[in-house]
Amino acid sequence: MLRLSRLLTILWVAYRFGLDEFPLAADPSGRAQRIVSRLLFFRRLDQPRAVRLREALETLGPIFVKFGQMLSTRRDLLPADIADELEKLQDRVPPFASDLAVAEVERSLGRPVTELFDAFDREPVASASIAQVHFATLPGGIEAAVKILRPNMLPVITHDLELLDAGAWLLERAWEESRRFKPREVVREFAGILHDELDLMREAANASQLRRNFAGSDQLLVPEVYWDYCTTNVMTMERMRGLRISDMDRLREAGVDFKKLSKDGVEIFFKQVFRDSFFHADMHPGNILVSPASVYISLDFGIMGSLNDVDKDYLAKNFIAFFNRDYRGVAQAHVDAGWVPPGTRIDAFESAIRAVCEPIFNRPFGEIEFGRVLLRLFQTARRFGYEVQPQLVLLQKTLLNVEALGRTLDPQLDLWTTAKPYLERWMSEQVGLRGLARNLRQEAPAWAALLPQLPRLVHEALSPTRQAALTARLDELLAAERTRNRRLTLVAILLALQLALTAFILVS
C-alpha cells in the first residue's frame, strides 16, 4: 500500500510539472507529444522544462533531490539547459528531532551522551538528505563535530531506488531513443553512491586518507577523525573553524588572498589526481571553508574518486596533446586506453575531435575551461563507441567545480599554466629514466624476496629427481595423446564404414 501511494505521488508530481514531455521530446515524429498535449489541453506549463524538472525533484523529497544532484554531473548524457538547472539543487532538508539524534548516538556508541561527551549541542548546525551535524566537546576539552545518519533511512532509500529503477526500465521499453542515455545504468550508479554515503565508517576512512595525503600542507586542512567515536551511523571528527568559500564579503573583510586561493585550488586538485590517485569528488562551495590564513578546509568525504595509472595516463596524454593541438594524439590516447573499440579509424576520430576542439583555440588560454574540454572529448568519443568511465565522470564534475570556484576568486586564472607542471611531471615519471627508476623501486621488494631463492630453485629444477618427474609427466602426456589419436582414428574409420554402408544400401 505504501509503495502504491508513493507511486501515485510520483505520477501526480510528473503530471503537475509536465515531466511527460521529456521522453516524448525524443520522439522524432512528434506525434505522441501532440496527442498528450491535446489530452491535457487544460494544463498550463509556464516554466521552462529544466526549471520544472528541478522543482519536481524538490517536491518529491531528499532522495530525488540527491538523484538530481548526481544527474547534474552527467553532462555527457544531459542537455546543457537541464544539467545547468539541476546544479542549483540544494539539500534544503529540515533537521530531524534532537531526541532522535541523541538516541542514535547512544545506540551506536553504546553509552549515554553525558558520558561520551563533556558537552553535546542538541541543535544541529547543518542538515542534509542523508545526515545532520551537531557540535560537541570530547573529554579533555577537544572540540568536535558529530555527523549522524537520519534514522530509518535504508528502507526509504531502498523503496525510492526501486521506483527509480522501475521508471528507468519503463522509459527504456517505451521510448527506444532514451536507451542511448542509459537510464538504468544511471540509477545503478546513483544507488552505489547513495549506499556508500550511508556508511559513515567509509567516509571516516576517506577523511583519514585525505588528511594523511596532505599532512603538513599549507594549502589544504582536513579534520582529524576520532575513531573511538565512530560507527557506521555516527562519525566524529575535529571541529574546523573557517569562513564559507561562498561568503565573498566576509572573506574580503578577513583579508583572504583570493589569487593564492584560486591557484591553490587548482594545485590541490592536480595533486590529488596525479600524485595521490585519490580525490575529493564533491567539492561544491557547501563543503569548503577557508581559514584566515587563506588555507582551504575540506568537509564531507562521502564521495571520493580514485584513478589507476591507465586513467592518469589517458588524462595527461589528452590534455597535453589537446593544448599542443595534436588531435591524432588525443584519438590515439582513447584507443590505447581501450575506451574505444580497437578497430576505430584513427583518422575519422581525429577529424571529429578537431571539429569540436579547434574553435576553442580562438580564445586565450586563460579563458579555456578544462572541464568543458574534457566533457566535449567524452561526447565526441561516444559517437565512436566510447563507454562511460564513472571515475572520469566524477573527475570531470570535480574539475568543473574547481574551475568555477577558481575563476570566481580570480577571473584571470590561467588553469593550463598552473596544471601543466603536474601533467608534464606525471608523463616524465612514466617514461625514460625516471619511469625506469620508479618501476625498479616498486619492484625491488619482490625481487629482494625472490633473489635469495634463485640458486635453490635452479638446483631443484636441475636435480635428477626433478628431471625424472618431468620426464615421467611428459611420458604420461604423450601416452594420453597417443590414446586420444587412436580413438579419433577409430571414430573416423567407423564413420567411413557407416557412410559406405549407407551408399551401398542406396545403390542397391
> Which residues form the catalytic set?
282
Residues 369, 414: Cα–Cα separation, whole Å: 9
Cβ-based neighbour number of residue 475 at 10 Å: 10
CA nearest to 401, candidates 247, 259, 287: 287
User: How many Cα atoms occupy the beta-carbon half-sphere of 90 within 13 Å?
Assistant: 8
Task: Judge contact between 325 and 416, C-beta under 8 A.
Answer: no
Cα angle: 438, vertex 443, 448; to 5 degrees: 130
CA nearest to 239, candidates 257, 255, 221: 221
Block residue for cell numbers 599554466: 417
> b or e along 297-331 (b: 16 or more beta carbons within 10 Å of the residue's beta carbon)?
bbbbbbbbbbbeeebbbbbbbbbbbbbeebbebbb
Block residue for cell numbers 542511448: 180
Task: Judge contact between 66 and 194, C-beta under 8 A.
Answer: yes
CA nearest to 298, candidates 229, 236, 219, 235: 219
